[in-house]
Amino acid sequence: MINNRLLAVASYINHEKLADIGSDHAYLPIYAIEQRKVKRAVAGEVVQGPYMAAVENVKKYNLDNKIDVRLGNGLDVIEQNEVDCITICGMGGPLISEILHNGQDKLTNFPTLILQSNIHTEAVRNKLIALGYMIKDEVIMKERKHVYEIIVAERNDTGITYNDIELKFGPVLLTKKDEVFYEKWLREYHHLKTVYDVIKSEEKHVEKAAEILNDINILQEVLNIEH
């Protein structure tokens, strides 16, 4: 019933109570309950249509007694200390990071966060660090031509810090640098080179060109490309 992307997210769930924020059809909490990965769950949705889809799906699977479908913005739908795992999937990094920022009063018990972003995952990492979390694991994967990143985060009880390169590319992903990682960042590298070649000799773009050149140099280092 669920796709490989959500299956990969679900593989990290092994908790008491889950909150899936932006749950849409509630596929993830339904799967997590059916697979006994959690005992109870909340499916949160801010938009009426997907909220109704979640309500109906939960009913269809006879899970009304285990999954509460709640209409509301981000982490507003949960109480403090109510859950020990939160998933936020299928959104851009900046939106995930905004949801975490606005709901930080619901993170004081440091629930495990499993976050799957479609783009700009760096924004998620920066927010996690600001909120006192550390990155336990990361996955980069491709499904139907789209590249997704998954971050598993827990309370930073080791005092670990991350440099700018780790925040951009992912501290765990950098240790693996698998095929999908190379594909994603090589595409970005070629894109930046094309843009740079177009603007490098235009005076009004001097600063932007310098910025892009810096990014190109970083990518060359990370991808081991000969200068």
The contact set with ligand SAM (CB under 6 A) reads: 6, 21-24, 44-47, 50, 73-74, 89-91, 95, 99
Q: Taking the complex as a whole, how short is the minimal distance between the CB of residue 132 and ligand SAM, in angstroms? A: 22
Q: Taking the complex as a whole, how short is the minimal distance between the CB of residue 74 and ligand SAM, in angstroms? A: 4
CA 128, 134, 136, 139 torsion-angle sign? positive
Q: Taking the complex as a whole, how short is the minimal distance between the CB of residue 90 and ligand SAM, in angstroms? A: 3
What strand order describes the sheet that includes 17-21?
67-71, 40-45, 17-21, 85-91, 112-117, 146-155, 133-143
Q: Is 36 helix (H, G, I), strand (E, B) or coil?
A: coil
Q: Which is nearer to ligand SAM, 10 or 209 (CB)?
A: 10
b/e per residue 147-170 (b: at least 16 CB within 10 A): bbbbbbbbbbeeeeebeeebbbbb
Q: Are 131 and 100 in contact (CB under 8 A)?
A: yes
Q: Taking the complex as a whole, how short is the minimal distance between the CB of residue 16 and ligand SAM, in angstroms? A: 21
Q: Which is nearer to ligand SAM, 107 or 167 (CB)?
A: 107
Q: Taking the complex as a whole, how short is the minimal distance between the CB of residue 72 and ligand SAM, in angstroms? A: 7
Q: Which is nearer to ligand SAM, 6 or 167 (CB)?
A: 6
- Tokens for 96, please give them: 């995930």
Q: Which is nearer to ligand SAM, 47 or 165 (CB)?
A: 47
Q: Which is nearer to ligand SAM, 101 or 136 (CB)?
A: 101
Distance CA 149, CA 117 (A): 6
Q: Are 17 and 84 in contact (CB under 8 A)?
A: yes
Q: Which is nearer to ligand SAM, 91 or 192 (CB)?
A: 91
Q: Taking the complex as a whole, how short is the minimal distance between the CB of residue 203 and ligand SAM, in angstroms? A: 41
Distance CA 20, CA 142 (A): 22
